[in-house]
Amino acid sequence: MANSNKSFGDSTPVEAREDGSQLVPQHDPFDVRKLRRKMDLHLVPVVAVLYLFCFIDRSNLGNAKISGMEKDLKMTGSEYNIILSSFYVGYILLEVPVVIICKWMGPAWFLPLTSIGFGICSVCTAFVSTVPQACAVRFLLGVFEAGMMPGIAYYLSRFYARAELTFRLSLYIVTAPLAGAFGGLLAGGILKLPRIGWLTGWRMIFALEGILTVGVAVVTLFLMANGPDTARWLSAEEKKLAVERLRVERTASRESAQGEGAVDGGGAREKMARNARRFLRGVYSPVTLSVGFIFLLDAVTVQAFAFFLPTIVRTIYPKSTTVQQQLYTVPPYLVGALVMVSMSALSWRTDRRQIFFKPSTTMVLIGYIMFLSSTDPRVRYGATFLVASCFALGPLTNAQVAANVVSDTTRSAAISINCMFAHIGGLVGSWSFVEWDAPHYRIGNSINLGTSVGILVLSTATLLWMKADNKARDRKQAETSESELTQEGVEDLDWRHPSWRWKP
């Protein structure tokens, strides 16, 4: 690799000629826009629908609780929280392994098949009659859902350039708040039915939503491709352009965007060792660890919001009917979706992510201050609209860890670790609102206020560190000759490479 004054972290990719001079590949903007539109039409709707049903099948427990499930299963004390926690046990344990399976199997097979799995688990929930049975089914639901968020993020990163990725991630993660809105509407509609077969009440919610999930997943088996080079809906010229765009952006790595097939020589054992080193680069990246902890803090709020919003609405409007309470949960989710897409669009246009952690988190912080400072139902319901801004950090954090590594293996590791942190936060969130803290839930609101403050402090500190470390790398690069490094060392260094620059 030739020495240069330009870092491979810069937004304009650089390739070295044989004589050591630089070649900056130029792509026709019209062709790039046409390719991007085609990818948007073929990729985003498919993964968005999958994630929509993933989040519906996860969060419908909150809708079922206020629709009779709590009474029918004779839940007492903290048993609802225990059921919630059992989901995260499977989720956290399998987070990293299933992403490795996703990479090995290929996202085009893995994502639909795991969706079929959690759809079946949702249907099974309709037949539970005890709390232990509900815990077992929720554990299996967590196992099958563990690979969805990191798997889809990894899948899209195989197609989109760094600056484009955040907005595309938002277009599927936005289905999380939309799932809350749609789930509330769907639950309200289902509860108006007298029965589905021999199922009645809350059991119909799980059965019908699970059946819909399986049907959608089966269809997506025929729509997905593992990468640009296998996409049937791209022409030969478009495939070449799609692969080339990613290759030149990640030019410091000899690994292709489609996998490790381009790694030279050394046999299978050396290839595995090299992939293991690259995987660990993604795990131990300072940005991965910092942003992952930020996502953990955010997920405490996201998951608590998803699982407890119907319960909170019931405490605010106790005299409303169950269907009305379900419908009250819809508007805050719509506002959360709008904030998420807006922040992600700004991130795409500026090719920045870290700075957008602050606006949405500030709105969440204000929302919890309103919860803690007032018992007026109108004020507290208004606070839910601000708290819904917590969803914005999902695409921003996943895009940030993906943007701050190079190789395909390192990127899959960084995304999976980021999501694992988030689901540890989800486990904490499942215990942030407990029954004996009702109706004002001061403990839960205080915990989430604290996580918002933590995000603001840590995201600011990380941004300042990235800028300081880039300056230090500028000074060090002037003193270091890249030719002193072995070729294997250059390939495996990833973000440790002297030319690397963090992208805030």
Given a cut of 60, is residue 251 above it in pLDDT?
no
**Under 8 Å CB-to-CB from 97, ≥6 apart: which residues?**
none
Per-residue pLDDT band for 6 (boundaries 50, 70, 90) equals: very low
| pLDDT at residue 485, rounded to an integer | 53
Q: Which residue has the higher pLDDT, 326 or 57?
A: 57
- Reference 414, options 296, 289, 498; nearest CA is 289
| pLDDT at residue 478, rounded to an integer | 62
Do the domain assignments include residue 59? yes
Given a cut of 70, is residue 487 above it in pLDDT?
no
| pLDDT at residue 90, rounded to an integer | 82
| pLDDT at residue 486, rounded to an integer | 53
| pLDDT at residue 153, rounded to an integer | 84
| pLDDT at residue 434, rounded to an integer | 82
Given a cut of 90, is residue 128 above it in pLDDT?
yes
Beta bridge partners of 23: 15
Q: Which uninterrupted H or E stretch holds 153?
A: helix 148-157
- For the segment 409-468, what is each residue's pLDDT rounded down to a tens digit? 788 888 888 888 988 998 888 888 887 887 888 898 999 999 999 999 999 999 999 999
Given a cut of 90, is residue 488 above it in pLDDT?
no
Q: What is the mean pLDDT of residues 389-397?
A: 90
Q: Which residue has the higher pLDDT, 191 or 482?
A: 191
Q: What residue numbers bound the domain in which 145 lies?
A: 28-233+275-496
| pLDDT at residue 462, rounded to an integer | 96
Given a cut of 80, is residue 359 above it in pLDDT?
yes
Dmax of the chain from CA atoms?
78
Q: Which two tokens stand for residue 452?
A: 């918002």
| pLDDT at residue 150, rounded to an integer | 85
Q: Which residue has the higher pLDDT, 361 or 23?
A: 361
Do the domain assignments include residue 268? no
Do the domain assignments include residue 305? yes
Do the domain assignments include residue 194? yes
Q: Which residue has the higher pLDDT, 184 or 501?
A: 501
Given a cut of 90, is residue 120 above it in pLDDT?
yes
- Reference 46, options 204, 132, 127, 156; nearest CA is 156
Q: Lowest-confidence range among 36-45, 129-138, 246-255?
A: 246-255
Q: Which residue has the higher pLDDT, 360 or 494?
A: 360
Per-residue pLDDT band for 491 (boundaries 50, 70, 90) equals: low
Given a cut of 70, is residue 134 above it in pLDDT?
yes
Domain count, the chain: 1
Q: Tell me the average pLDDT of the chain.
A: 82
- Give, in degrees to the nearest 5, the angle at Cα 291 between 478 and 246: 60
Beta-carbon count within 10 A of 348 CB: 21
DSSP-derived secondary structure letter, 19: T
Q: Which residue has the higher pLDDT, 112 or 318?
A: 112
Do the domain assignments include residue 239? no
Q: Which uninterrupted H or E stretch holds 22?
A: strand 22-23
Q: Which residue has the higher pLDDT, 330 or 291?
A: 291
Q: What is the mean pLDDT of residues 195-203?
A: 83
Given a cut of 50, is residue 71 above it in pLDDT?
yes
| pLDDT at residue 483, rounded to an integer | 47
| pLDDT at residue 40, rounded to an integer | 92
- For the segment 261-273, what is each residue's pLDDT rounded down to a tens digit? 444 444 556 666 7
| pLDDT at residue 272, rounded to an integer | 66
Q: What is the mean pLDDT of residues 152-173?
A: 84
- For the segment 276-321, what is each residue's pLDDT rounded down to a tens digit? 777 888 888 999 999 999 999 999 998 888 778 888 888 888 888 8
The CA distance from 139 to 90, in Å, is 5
Q: Backbone phi, then psi, for 262, in 5-degree steps?
A: -90, 0
Do the domain assignments include residue 93? yes
| pLDDT at residue 4, rounded to an integer | 41
Q: What is the mean pLDDT of residues 400-414?
A: 83
Do the domain assignments include residue 455? yes
Q: Which residue has the higher pLDDT, 357 or 500?
A: 357
Q: What is the mean pLDDT of residues 390-401?
A: 90
| pLDDT at residue 3, rounded to an integer | 41
Given a cut of 80, is residue 274 above it in pLDDT?
no
Q: What is the mean pLDDT of residues 473-489?
A: 61
Q: Which two tokens stand for residue 131?
A: 């709390």
The CATH number covering residue 48 comes to 1.20.1250.20
The 3 state secondary structure assigned to 364-430 is HHHHHHHHHHCCCHHHHHHHHHHHHHHHHHHHHHHHHHHHCCCCHHHHHHHHHHHHHHHHHHHHHHC
Do the domain assignments include residue 464? yes
Per-residue pLDDT band for 23 (boundaries 50, 70, 90) equals: very low
Go through the chain and tell me how many residues it has.
504
